[in-house]
Structure 1
Amino acid sequence: MLHIGNHLSSSKGFMHMGKEALQLKADTFSFFTRNPRGSKAKDIDDNDVTAFLKLAKESNFQKLVAHAPYTLNPCSNKIEVREFAYNTMTDDLKRMEKLPHNYYNFHPGNHLKQGEQIGIELIADCLNSIMWEEQQTTVLLETMSGKGTEVGKTFEEIRAIIDKIKLQDKIGVCLDTCHIWDGGYDIVNHLDDVIEEFDKIIGLDKLKAIHLNDSKNDCGSHKDRHEKIGEGKIGLDAIIRIINHPALKNLPFILETPNDHDGYAREIALLRSKFKE
């Protein structure tokens, strides 16, 4: 079965997101842990969580992929920005314990001309400071497109961060199709080679989720502009090959395409119709 969902607004609570996902024929979804452009987090309603966990079990939901706010930069050249990332992610991971055994995804950050190596060290230091042995959440590093001074634009940079993490069983990767395409990985003409390279450098055992997006830009553009499925430069045929690839097909796929409710329903239905069991 294709495990697929999209990004939902968490403003109305988990039960509302769960019901909306079911309306879309999804069996997973993503949500921001707090305001994606700020730091405010809505109080968690324990009754809402309990009701959602019951719904998720009854409906056979797959792992959820929570997303940290875009404003976090654990490798900033400003200590106050790094502290903000540390404090926010610490709080997020504590809150994620209400939804055990799911994923917490974040953009590694921008080194701001300090250099990739310093960026990698600062990101790893942050993660090693906020993760603990008993946590039930797996933290995912998202692959990036390489715009500006982003860290995580290559598999080697992601691997370098992972190598510095103490709790290896708590760290994984979320691969974003638009990001790696824009980053220069040709998943249209050389999907098998890209997956083989990922396995050689990072290891497929670390790949936990996929952001499934088309791209408005050419391969290697380093621009990070998502497009609706089948309407961009990656194209429907390549995306169908991605969801059916033996190394990927059992992972949760999260749509982050520029869409509304009906648009996501159409994309999910389309991709389910193209999935080979």
Structure 2
Amino acid sequence: MRVGAHLRQDENPVATAEDLGIDIFQMFVTDPQSWKKPQPHPHADEIRESAIDVVVHSSYQINVASLNNRLRMPSRKAVEEQAKAAAELGAIGLVVHGGHLKDGEDAAEGFTNWRKLFERQEDKGGFGVPILIENTAGGDHAMARTLESIERLWDAVGDFPQAGFCLDTCHAWAGGEDLVGLVERIKAITGRIDLIHLNNSRDEFDSGRDRHANLESGQIDADILAELMKTADAPGVLETPADGIAADLEYLRSH
């Protein structure tokens, strides 16, 4: 079982990962709140040559499902640029949120836009790494909140070899999905889980709110999270509050 953490501000993430004794770490390749193009990482060689796996999380404003050209087009470009930067670091994938539409917009068009992302990139030779689509916590018009929406999304993109899936436990809980047996239900749709974002939730079930908690201090039974991690057969990344990550890692290792 490969377990790690998201390292948010670390200039030298490999050194931090070694200090934590983790098997995988997640990082950004650019400011997650901007459209800035990724720049070469000062520790790229070290990251690439390390035995510790790395996965990249895309910037937050990306929404490839959007029907607004002014958002969708820069989103596509950002996914391409950040996937290239992830490949240069030897990453196992680029995590991208499912995105959402506005009230009154046709969801079918949003799913079609996801398909177009992969179709257009195929003409350029594909992405440098798999695109790991992450389920999201809230919004009635989210592309990947419910199992029904994930199934519609997978009908659109599931035949592309570079389309992968990232399951966030806090998002699933906040989105109203029972975590018991969820791995099996997701795999019945996607056929795969490539990464787990293993997070507890500060808020109640089906709240629609995305506020992470450490494994033993949230609303979700920590034993359920540990069991989900076991059954998923995928690496897990903690996105929990930084001051509790060491205790979260110890809890997982002990279980």
Question: Is structure 2 residue 16 aligned with structure 1 residue 24?
Answer: no
1:166 deviates by 7.8
Indicate the residue corresponding to 2:171 in structure 1: 179
Aligned residues of 1:128 and 1:166 also touching (Cα < 8 A): no
Q: Which residue of the other structure, out of 107, 111, 119, is the alignment partner of 2:110?
A: 119
- Gaps spanning 5+ residues in structure 1: where? none
Q: Distance in 2 between matches of 1:136 and 1:88?
A: 13
Aligned counterpart, 1:94: 84
Structure 1 51/225 Cα, relative in aligned 2: closer, same or farther at 3 Å?
closer
1:23-76 Cα offsets, whole Å, 9 max, x none, are 11111011112111112245214x73223322x13xxx23x2211111111222
Superposed, which structure 2 residues align to 1:41-56 within 5 Å?
41-45=37-41, 48-54=43-49, 56=50
So what's the TM-score if we normalise by structure 2? 0.90
Contact 1:100 1:136 in 2 (8 A): no
Q: Counterparts of 1:117 and 1:146 in 2: how far apart (Å)?
A: 19
User: How far is the alpha carbon of 1:88 from its aligned partner?
Assistant: 1.0
User: In the alignment, does 2:187 pair up with 1:196?
Assistant: no
For 1:49, give the aligned amino acid: A
Name the CA shift for 1:97/1:119 in 2 (closer, same or farther; >3 Å). same
Aligned match of 2:249: 268
Quick check: 1:256 aligned with 2:255? no
Q: Are residues 1:237 and 2:227 paired?
A: no
Q: 2:97 aligns with which of 87, 107, 129?
A: 107
Alignment of 1:51-66 (within 5 A): 51-54=46-49, 56-57=50-51, 61-62=52-53, 64-66=54-56
Shift of 1:234: 0.7
What value does the CA root-mean-square deviation take over the aligned residues?
A: 2.1
Report the AA paired with residue 253 of structure 1: G
SS at match of 2:27: strand
* Runs (5+) with no aligned partner, structure 2: none
Q: Deviations over 1:161-188 (max 9, x none)?
A: 233338622111000001111111111x
Secondary structure in 1 aligned to 2:90?
A: coil
Deviation by residue 1:105-140 (Cα, 9 ceiling, x = unmatched) = 011211112132222112221232235545441111
Aligned to 1:3: 2
**SS in structure 2 opposite 1:109?**
coil
When residues 219 and 115 of structure 1 are mapped into structure 2, their CA distance, relative to the original with a 3 A threshold, is: farther
Shift in alpha-carbon separation, 1:70–1:208, aligned structure 2, 3 A:
same
Out of 156, 161, 173, the position equivalent to 1:169 is 161
What CA distance in whole angstroms lies between the structure 2 residues aligned with 1:237 and 1:196? Answer: 17
Could you say if the C-alpha distance between residues 196 and 43 of structure 1 is closer, same or farther in structure 2, counting changes exceeding 3 Å? closer
Separation in 2 of the partners of 1:146 and 1:119?
Answer: 16
Aligned length: 253
Q: Secondary structure at the match of 2:133?
A: strand
1:143 match: 135
Tell me which residue corresponds to 2:75.
85
Quote the residue 2:205 is aligned against: 219
What letter is aligned with 2:66? S
Instruction: Give the distance between the partners of 2:131 and 2:234, measured in 1 at CA.
Output: 15
